[in-house]
A and B are shown apart, each in its own frame.
Chain A
């Protein structure tokens, strides 16, 4: 049988290798105030337009906004003659006339693709509630897992291991987003939040399946060492994990990411990576941590290396 659990410290190292750089990047962005947070959270205005017959420079658009006394203007070219213009929130008067002004200034017809204005107070509130939503989700899920595994010794461990693996998945998602914002100009918006919460939900769903096998096997193989038992359970569920997650869900998401249009691309990509991480972490993070916990291996971490498991 394949030995998965034996190499557990390699997986931990591998995950850290992906998570740490991304989170450092994110931390740097927060520090320097370049965190790519959308107007959903900060408040402000976003106007996505397509000029049918002209392609003004980004500077021209900024100077037009300046003339109208709009602050914090940032323009991003998204295609030939297409722009995303972000700024502080527009007053009612400007909101009604900005499109007309753009058309007049550049002598072209302007097609409005998207126009959003979000007040600052709602932005702050959404941020606070978003954090609450994630916290509540984590809490309820731990509680639920402990309940679902109440028949197994150390039921709480299952819940906590699921949460650690879930935090791992969320960290992967944030890490990816930091990189995505650097390369593709991704933004943390309400849709991002939806993706994160979904990753949380599906991550837990996947852990339940793997843990369920451990739960079942605990009753069947009473004499097996815990490490072997967990390894056995993982191998038994491996085929299902690959088929469900990789072949079905990931294919759906890949199709969405590739063909689903710009609006969904970021969302689908985050889900794609997040759910992949969810499957990975069930096998390579959550279950191994159970084993680490069972053997209280941390007592050996800082001793001279004698065991072959250490990496």
Chain B
């Protein structure tokens, strides 16, 4: 055996061993060399059921979005999703102005979406000069505040009678919050949201409350007046309570919004897709069955038609499947129905490489070359077409991936990723595995009965 083949054989053994380790159902993961990784098969929403929502910046189409603002919004959304206790949720930026939110296992998305989508901007607004009764009348209405306005627009004198069109001065915003908790009022038993201000906010708040004892300080969320408490005494400790007749869920959702800050960009839901769990399980079982049947037929065909090389191809294909699946679990790639189809198609690609090699090899054998010459020539002659044809497929995958990720079209993306990875692995299989295995077999092959063993 040549030195080169020994090295390659070791490489194959290592790769396959690693792959098997990753693929094992109860794989303990890697926990050494500073790498901590668990391996899981991540199934897409179409297989487990769940909700996919596409959020878009709620701004005019020609509005320029500051770089970084969408990233900030994405992380706020992600924090909120996690804060709502939705496990295994995926939040990703898609294109310049969209965010994809995937909530596996969820089937009634409306409440969650509402919480995720709202800006969640808390403002403590100066209502001084407005009588308590008038302030109470404003609860539940939307008002204008000077937060976010330039100073020229902002300073309007406050008149004795409040109107909805008036612009009120904002004292403190949610950016100055340090912590937020859901509590119940000891007297009424109602749910409330208690907050503590940051040191900076605390000073502003202490100053303001000291100067405005007896005035109303409105609590406003997303420009809607929630409550209008009167300042009874200066508040030096920076603590406050939002009381708005909340249910437990509402209070919790509000706390989640406030805790992770307001969205830098208003968002709206432009697409919601729900897959019921029943359909998901059905699809998973059926596609697994289909895959198993297809795979078995192909394995059988290869063995019957190509004989010995067919057996080698089958070994290579099984390695291909294990390695590809291991990569899916390692990254991890979310497996969707089209993703499984992409994987099966790449199996076709891997077989194509083997078939191209074997057909060339048989031609050379028929032409009277020796076995080892045939293997060598078959491989060399088939290589350009394997290379060029697979590059063409990789190009298509790239375009599909670009298309899929810009639109949050995860099904298209999933398909292109699995096909892409499959084609890459199939090239490795063709270049290394089939080659070395063939060399190995041929070197130890004694029989001269080529028709029997090679089906020529």
Q: A residues bordering B, Cβ < 8 Å?
A: 40, 48, 50, 92, 95-96, 111-119, 121-122, 125-126, 129-130, 133, 136-137, 140-141, 144-145, 148, 190-191, 193-194, 197-198, 200-202, 204-206, 208-209, 212-213, 215-216, 236-237, 239-240, 243-244, 247-249, 251-256, 258-261, 263-264, 267-268, 271
Q: Contacts A255-B294, A263-B283 given: A240-B278 contact, CB under 8 Å?
A: no
Is residue B388 contacting chain A, with contact meaning CB distance below 8 A?
yes
Q: Does B453 contact A (CB under 8 A)?
A: no
Whether B359 and A243, one on each chain, are in contact in the complex, defined by CB atoms closer than 8 angstroms, is yes
Q: Flag if B399 contacts A140 (CB, 8 Å).
A: yes
Q: A213 to nearest B CB, angstroms?
A: 7
Closest 3 CB pairs of A and B: A201-B396, A255-B294, A261-B286
A263 vs B388: C-alpha distance when bound (angstroms): 33
Q: Any chain A CB within 8 A of the CB of B237?
A: no
Chain A residues lying within 8 Å of B256, measured Cβ to Cβ, are: none
A194 with B273: in contact, given A209-B389, A244-B352, A252-B347 (CB under 8 Å)? no
Residues of A within 8 A of B294 (CB): 251-256
Q: Which residues does chain A contribute within 8 Å of B197, judged by CB atoms?
A: none
Complex Cα–Cα for A18 and B269 (A): 43
Known: A244-B348, A264-B287. Contact between A255 and B392, CB under 8 A?
A: no
Contacts of B347 in A (CB 8 A): 248, 252
Task: Determine how close the nearest CB of chain B comes to the CB of A43; give it in whole angstroms.
Answer: 9
Given A190-B411, A197-B399, A251-B297, also A208-B385 (CB < 8 A): yes
B399 and A137 within 8 A (CB): yes
Q: Of the listed stretches B4-12, B212-220, B227-235, B338-346, name the one at the interface; the rest are far from the partner chain.
A: B338-346
Closest Cβ neighbor of B301 among chain A residues: A247
Q: Which of A121, A259, A263 has a CB less than 8 Å from the CB of B270?
A: A121
Q: How far is the CB of A86 from chain B (nearest CB, A)?
A: 14
A126–B363 CA distance with the chains assembled, in angstroms:
48
Q: A120 — nearest CB in chain B belongs to which residue? A: B270
Q: Are A248 and B348 in contact (CB under 8 A)?
A: yes
Closest to B274 in A: A115
CB-contacts of B373-402 with A (<8 A): 381, 384-385, 388-393, 395-397, 399-400, 402
CB neighbours (8 Å) of A208 from chain B are 385, 388-389, 392
What range describes how many residues of B lie at the interface? 35 or more
Q: Tell whether, in the assembled complex, residue A112 and residue B393 are in contact, meaning their CB atoms are under 8 Å apart.
A: no
Partner of B352, one of A140, A248, A268: A248
Check A260 against B390 for contact (C-beta < 8 Å).
no
Q: How far is the CA of A17 from the CA of B349 in the complex (A)?
A: 31
Q: Pick 23 A–B contacts, CB within 8 A, sort by A.
A: A113-B279, A115-B272, A116-B273, A118-B273, A190-B411, A193-B403, A193-B412, A198-B419, A205-B393, A247-B298, A248-B352, A249-B345, A252-B345, A255-B291, A255-B297, A256-B344, A260-B287, A261-B282, A261-B283, A261-B286, A261-B337, A271-B341, A271-B345
Docked pose: A297 CA to B432 CA in angstroms: 45
- Complex CA gap A254/B345 in Å reads 12
Seen from chain B, the residues whose Cβ lies within 8 Å of a Cβ on chain A are 46, 54, 56, 107-108, 110, 269-276, 278-279, 282-283, 286-287, 289-291, 293-295, 297-298, 301-302, 305, 337-338, 341, 344-345, 347-349, 351-352, 355-356, 359, 363, 381, 384-385, 388-393, 395-397, 399-400, 402-403, 406-407, 409, 411-412, 415, 419
Supposing A96-B110, A115-B273, A249-B348 touch, asked if A129 and B403 sit within 8 A by C-beta, the answer is: yes
Question: Complex formed: what's the CA distance from A202 to B341 in Å?
Answer: 14
- Is there contact, CB below 8 Å, between B399 and A205? no
The answer to whether A111 and B298 touch across the interface, beta carbons within 8 angstroms, is no
Minimal beta-carbon separation of B143 from chain A (angstroms)? 23
Instruction: Give the shortest distance, in Å, between B248 (CB) and chain A (any CB).
Output: 19
Across the interface, do B276 and A112 meet the contact criterion of CB distance under 8 Å?
A: yes
Q: Are A258 and B290 in contact (CB under 8 A)?
A: yes
Q: Beyond the given A113-B276, A256-B287, could you list 10 further A-B residue pairs with CB under 8 A, ordered by the A residue number? A: A95-B272, A114-B279, A116-B273, A137-B399, A140-B395, A145-B392, A148-B391, A213-B385, A259-B290, A260-B286
A183 to B388: give the CA distance in the assembly, Å: 39
Across the interface, do B363 and A236 meet the contact criterion of CB distance under 8 Å? yes
The majority secondary structure among interface residues of chain A is: helix
Pair A144/B395 contact, Cβ less than 8 Å = yes
Of B286, B291, B384, which is within 8 A of A212 by CB? Answer: B384
Whether A248 touches B272, Cβ cut-off 8 Å, given contacts A243-B359, A256-B294, is: no
Complex CA gap A300/B293 in Å reads 51
Q: Which of B110, B338, B389, B403 is A205 in contact with, Cβ under 8 Å? A: B389
Q: Which of A133, A194, A263, A268 has the most CB of B within 10 A?
A: A194
State whether B344 touches A252 (Cβ < 8 A).
yes
Which of A137, A248, A267 has a CB less than 8 Å from the CB of B396? A137
Beyond A194-B415, A198-B396, A247-B301, whether A122 also contacts B407 by CB under 8 A is yes
Residues B409 and A190 in contact, CB atoms below 8 Å apart: yes
CA distance A115 to B274 in the complex (A): 5
Q: Decide yes or no: A255 and B293 within 8 Å by CB, A236-B363, A260-B287, A267-B341 being known contacts.
A: yes
On whether the beta carbons of B270 and A122 are closer than 8 Å, the reply is: yes
A271–B356 Cα distance when bound, in Å, is: 22
Evaluate contact between A251 and B273: CB separation under 8 angstroms: no
**In chain B, what residue has the closest Cβ to A133?**
B403
- The smallest beta-carbon distance between A80 and chain B, in angstroms, is 15
Q: Is the CB of A267 within 8 A of B338?
A: yes
Question: With contacts A122-B270, A255-B297 known, is A264 near B337, CB below 8 A?
Answer: yes
Are the C-beta atoms of B275 and A201 separated by less than 8 Å?
A: no
Determine which residue in B276, B282, B406 has the highest number of CB atoms from chain A within 10 A of its CB, and name it.
Answer: B276
A247 with B276: in contact, given A141-B392, A190-B411 (CB under 8 Å)? no
Tell me the complex Cα distance, A144–B345, Å: 22
Chain A residue nearest to B342 in the complex (CB): A198
Residue of A nearest to B298 (CB): A248
A83 to B302, CA, bound (A): 43
Report how far A259 CA is from B91 CA in the complex, Å: 33
Q: Is the beta-carbon distance between B395 and A141 smaller than 8 angstroms?
A: yes
Report the separation of the CA atoms of residues A261 and B298 in the bound assembly, to the nearest whole angstrom: 20
- Selected from B274, B291, B301, B393, the residue in CB contact (under 8 A) with A248 is B301
> Cβ of B407 and Cβ of A129 under 8 Å apart?
yes
A193 and B396 alpha carbons, distance in the complex (Å): 12
A216 to B289 CA separation, bound complex (whole angstroms) = 41
Q: Identify the closest chain B residue to A250 (Cβ).
A: B348
Residues of B within 8 A of A118 (CB): 270-271, 273
Contact B411 A201 (CB under 8 A): no
Distance in Å: Cβ of B451 to nearest Cβ of chain A: 16
What is the bound-complex CA distance between A20 and B393, given in angstroms?
A: 28
Bound CA–CA A255/B298 (angstroms):
11
Alpha-carbon separation in the docked complex, A141 to B275 (Å)? 36
